[in-house]
Chain A
């Protein structure tokens, strides 16, 4: 049977730990090791915080819906928000060789998402941003 689990939270910082717990218990159920689960939590934090910061500007924060599923041996996270269109894949990678003075503060979150997830897809679905992240069990 294909496993699937879905939950919705308001896009607030207080929702961060509950959403991380939700994803890590799903991953534990699939037998992911602690190291890979830690990376998954990190990616989720970066995605969630981006939504908190940018999806619902100047208004009451809307929701974030996370769907965990298993697809052909990998864990797939689908993160959906009804905020302003935002394709994080379009962001340029930071220059990670720049020194302390040259480096802008920020911009590393999206880079960590791209580096730690095995696959990242974005699509605008009507009024929704849908980010689909895949994590293989073994890298």
Chain B
């Protein structure tokens, strides 16, 4: 798993490549927690290069989304595809989070 974050338009864009699974989820969550600590409140997770996510990743997302919401912030998603999109659908994450086809569309919505 590789994570990069950069300042976007009214948000911080976090791009994740590879897999978020039981092995990598702790690092993923640590990165998001670090951004929260720095005071970032709107996180756009770009999953265009994410190939796989398991419940360990969903758990991290939900924990961070709760923490963000408590600070008046929010989390949105872009580029879900293949198995990641399927897992979002099955788990109902597609209906509790805003998801966009591309990171550009997501930023335009802000």
A interface residue numbers (CB < 8 A to B)? 13, 16-17, 35, 38-39, 41-42, 45-46, 49, 96-101, 103, 105-106, 108-109, 111-112, 115-116
Q: Which of A35, A46, A99 contacts B83 (CB 8 A)?
A: A35
B92 touches A112 (CB 8 A): no
Q: How far is the CA of A109 from the CA of B91 in the complex (A)?
A: 9
Interface string of B50-70 (1 = CB under 8 A from A): 011011101100110110010
Q: A100-B69, A101-B66 are in contact. Are A112 and B91 (CB under 8 A)?
A: yes
Count the B residues whose beta carbon is within 8 Å of the partner chain — how many?
A: 25
Which residue of B59, B63, B66, B95 is within 8 Å of A108 (Cβ)?
Answer: B59
The yes or no answer to B96 lying at the interface (CB within 8 A) is: yes
Within 8 Å by CB of A96, from B23, B56, B86, B91, lies B91
- For B66, give its contact among A97, A105, A116 (CB under 8 Å): A105
Q: Which residue of A lies closest to B51 (CB)?
A: A38
Kindly identify, within residues 59 to 96 of chain B, every residue whose CB is under 8 Å from any CB belonging to chain A: 59, 62-63, 65-66, 69, 82-83, 86-87, 90-92, 95-96
The answer to whether A108 and B96 have CB atoms under 8 Å apart is no
Q: Write 5 A-B pairs (CB below 8 A) sorted by A numbering.
A: A13-B22, A16-B23, A39-B86, A100-B97, A101-B66
Dominant SS among interface residues on chain B: helix
Q: Are B23 and A17 within 8 A (Cβ)?
A: yes
Docked-complex contact A42 and B91, CB < 8 angstroms: no
A45 touches B21 (CB 8 A): yes
Residues of A within 8 A of B91 (CB): 96, 108, 111-112
CB distance from B15 to the nearest CB of A (A): 21
> What B residues does A17 contact at CB under 8 A?
23
Decide if A106 touches B59 in the complex (CB within 8 Å).
yes
A100-B52 in contact (CB<8A): no
Query: Which of chain B's residues has its CB closest to A97's CB?
Result: B92
Q: Do residues B52 and A38 form an inter-chain contact, with CB atoms below 8 A?
A: yes
A45 touching B62, Cβ below 8 Å: no
Say yes or no: A45 contacts B54, CB within 8 Å.
Answer: yes
Partner of A103, one of B23, B54, B82, B96: B96
Instruction: Tell me how far the C-beta of B98 lies from the nearest C-beta in chain A, rounded to whole angstroms.
Output: 11
Closest chain-B Cβ to A31's Cβ sits at a distance in Å of 19
> In the complex, what distance in Å separates the CA atom of A109 from the CA atom of B22?
11
Shortest C-beta distance, B57 to chain A (Å), equals: 10
